[in-house]
C-alpha cells in the first residue's frame, strides 16, 4: 500500500505491507523507491491507500511538530544483517541529538567501520522514520543524506538540534 504526503520538504511517498512501513522517500526519487521495493519483493503492484497503518498521519504529525509521532511506527527495512543493526541503532538516537559516523560505528560494535556505517545510512529505505539525518561528520558537517543536504538541515532544525552544525555543500 502506498500514500503520498505533501510537506514543506516536498511530497513524500510511503509504502507499507499489511503490517510494516517498508519504504519512505521523497517523490522526486520515486524510481529509486520502486527499485528498492522491486529488488526486495520482486514484481509488485503498488496500490494507493489512504493513511496505511496510520503512517501518513504520524508522519504529518511529526512534520507539524509532534516530534515523537514516528516512534511507534513498525518498520521492516530489509537489508543485510549489518544494515539492520545500523538502522536499529539509528532509531535509538534521541530527537534533538546527533552523532558522528564513527560514534555510530562504535555503538554497533564495529569501531573501525565508519565508512560501512555511512554506506548503510545511504541505503536506508525508510528515511526520516529511521533517522539517518541525525548522523553527521565528526567535525559537525552535514554530509551524506540521500534526500539532499538541505532537507537534512531542515530536519535537524525541525528537531531543534542544538550546537553548531556546518553545511557542507
Which cell numbers in the block locate residue 18?
499489511
String of DSSP letters for 24-47: EEEGGGHHHHHHHHHHHHSS----
Q: What domains are there in the chain, each with its CATH number?
A: 2-70 (no CATH), 81-167 (1.10.10.10)
Mean pLDDT of the chain: 93
| DSSP 3-state of 82 | helix
Q: Give the model's pLDDT for residue 169.
A: 41
Q: Which of 122, 100, 124 has the alpha carbon at shortest distance from 111?
A: 100
Each residue of 137-159: pLDDT tens digit? 988 888 878 899 999 999 999 99
**18 pLDDT higher than 90:** yes
Residues with catalytic annotation?
A: 132
Do 33 and 25 form a contact (C-beta atoms < 8 A)? yes
Each residue of 73-97: pLDDT tens digit? 999 999 999 999 999 999 999 999 9
Amino acid at each position: 500500500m502506498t500514500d503520498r504526503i505533501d510537506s514543506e520538504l516536498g511530497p513524500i511517498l510511503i509504502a507499507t505491507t499489511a503490517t510494516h512501513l517498508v519504504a519512505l522517500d521523497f517523490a522526486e526519487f520515486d524510481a529509486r523507491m520502486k527499485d528498492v521495493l522491486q529488488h526486495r519483493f520482486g514484481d509488485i503492484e503498488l496500490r494507493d491507500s489512504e493513511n496505511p497503518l496510520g503512517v501518513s498521519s504520524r508522519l504529518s504529525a511529526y512534520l507539524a511538530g509532534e516530534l515523537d509521532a514516528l516512534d511507534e511506527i513498525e518498520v521492516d527495512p530489509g537489508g543485510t544483517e549489518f544494515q539492520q543493526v545500523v538502522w536499529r541503532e539509528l532509531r535509538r538516537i534521541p530527537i534533538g541529538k546527533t552523532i558522528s559516523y564513527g560514534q555510530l560505528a562504535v555503538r554497533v560494535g564495529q569501531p573501525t567501520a565508519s565508512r560501512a556505517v555511512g554506506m548503510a545510512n545511504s541505503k536506508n529505505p525508510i528515511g526520516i522514520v529511521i533517522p539517518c539525518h541525525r548522523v553527521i561528520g565528526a567535525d559537525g558537517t552535514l554530509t551524506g543524506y540521500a534526500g539532499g543536504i538541505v532537507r537534512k538541515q531542515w530536519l535537524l532544525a525541525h528537531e531543534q538540534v542544538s550546537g553548531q552544525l556546518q553545511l557542507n555543500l
